[in-house]
Amino acid sequence: MPVRLVLAVQEELYIEPFMQYVHSSEFDRRIIITGFSRQDAFELYMKDSGEMVDIVLAEPTFLEAWQGAKPGRLIVVSLCERGEAASGLSLDKYQPLHPLLFSLLNMVRGDKGKQAAKEAGTVVIGLHSMVGGLGKSTVSWNIAKQLASEGAKVFYLSLETVNNRLIFEGQLVHEGQRGGLARLLYDLKSAEEGQQELKFPISAYACRHPLLQGDLFAPLDNLDEMLELQHKETMDLIEFIAASGLYDAMVIDTDTYPNERAEAVLERADKLVWLVTDDDNVMRKTSLWFDHLERSRPDVHGHILSKSLFAFNQYTGEEVTSLPGSNIVFAAMLSYIPAWKNGIRQFAAMHSPLYQRDVQQLCCKLYGNAEVLRGGNIQR
């Protein structure tokens, strides 16, 4: 359920951008906000609708004059300027809005909210292939964009050693960003060593991409930082994003399997998409790996297959046979787009109705051929 927030501030120029920020961010479905700049309107609303409010964020002057009855469960927070004293809960008025809103959610939900977010969960979708150059970045990006276009809150996580710079062009940096993925990895490690919780939310590190309409990390400039990301650090990173409760889906693009980052995604993902193309070498390597896994680790093989979907990328319309020596069949065909010859694959695919149709069908297969979204929530 969304948190019902009442904001009471004398300056209308503070209220309007505050509300616009909520509606354009990942907090949109998590906070219902009502704003007041007049004391009388604020008091009348609280008198009539106070039982429906979860939290009041107001300047001290509003709270001092407020004579209405305060329901026992209602949380009241003073919105103070720096150095201004206040009794009870208070927040800095001019801090970046992402950490401010995150703090408000934590005040309302507390430990129960964290547990509810954990139980609801973020659906983690991993993209894999046994051979490079099959279009994992294109497919993962378009899955994320498709889910976002249907109303999901999406995080796109690239764990490739060398990111595709094209998909990061035009990104917007969140207000209050502390330094992106490199800083987050450092803060996660420091918090673990100090046996403390991380003080900052995921929104303090992530960027919002206007084309994706979802969040991501800016690409790392130092490749060593990605190369040093081992299994445990990758798991911690995925769990931190998922546990934020801000996203319905996380789509993860990795290097060609195997490495420790890819291993972590295989283990943690709720859904896996394996890509192949019409190439004998691709088919053979994919089939051999699954056959080897079945012989050597049958329990792991069964677990991976149970959450895997095989997609044939760059499909030209010709009949495709199953993987050699395997019972695996393809659940999705992603059409070849001639404009890819120009080398701008992600953007050509985004504007291709044919490819978007195929991606939409793939998303439906990922969610059991049901509506991917219903009422703003992914059906799991």
**309-353 pLDDT, tens digit each:** 999 888 888 766 666 666 677 888 888 877 666 555 555 555 678
Contacts of 49 (CB under 8 A, 6+ apart): none
The per-residue pLDDT for 229 is 86
Select the more confidently predicted residue: 207 or 120.
Answer: 207
pLDDT of residue 237: 92
Tens digits of residue pLDDT in 276-297? 888 888 888 888 888 888 888 8
**Omega cis (within 30) before 258:** yes
What would the mean pLDDT of 139-155 be, rounded to a whole number? Answer: 89
367 three-class SS: coil
pLDDT at 342: 59
Q: Are 159 and 252 in contact (CB under 8 A)?
A: yes
Position 166 confidence tier, pLDDT thresholds 50, 70, 90: low
**Predicted confidence (pLDDT) at residue 373 exceeds the cutoff of 80:** no
Q: Which tens digits make up the pLDDT trace of 352-367? A: 788 888 998 899 888 7
> What CA–CA distance (Å, rounded) separates 229 from 237?
10
Question: Residue 144: what pLDDT?
Answer: 92
Residues sharing a CB contact under 8 Å with residue 157, sequence separation 6 or more, in sequence order: 216, 217, 237, 238, 241, 250, 251, 252, 253
* Residue 16 or 166, more confident: 16
Q: Is the model's pLDDT at 224 over the cut of 90?
A: no
Q: What is the pLDDT of residue 287?
A: 85
For residue 15, pLDDT over 90 is answered with yes
User: Is 298 buried (19+), middle (13-18) or exposed (0-12) by CB count in 10 A?
Assistant: exposed
Q: What is the C-alpha separation between 272 and 23, in angstroms, rounded? A: 32
- pTM over cut 0.85: no
Q: Minimum mean pLDDT among 1-15, 301-315, 326-340: which range? A: 326-340
Q: What single string gives the DSSP state of each residue in 304-345?
A: HHHTEEEEEEEE-SS--PPPTTS----SEEEE--GGGGGT-H
SS3 23: helix
Q: Is the pLDDT of residue 69 over 80?
A: no
Position 344 scores a pLDDT of 53
Q: What integer pLDDT is reported at residue 195 of this predicted model?
A: 73
* Terminal Cα-to-Cα distance of the chain (whole angstroms): 17
pLDDT at 14: 93
Distance CA 200, CA 307 (A): 32
For residue 116, CA distances in Å to 121, 196, 244 come to 8, 21, 11
pLDDT surpasses 90 at 18 = yes
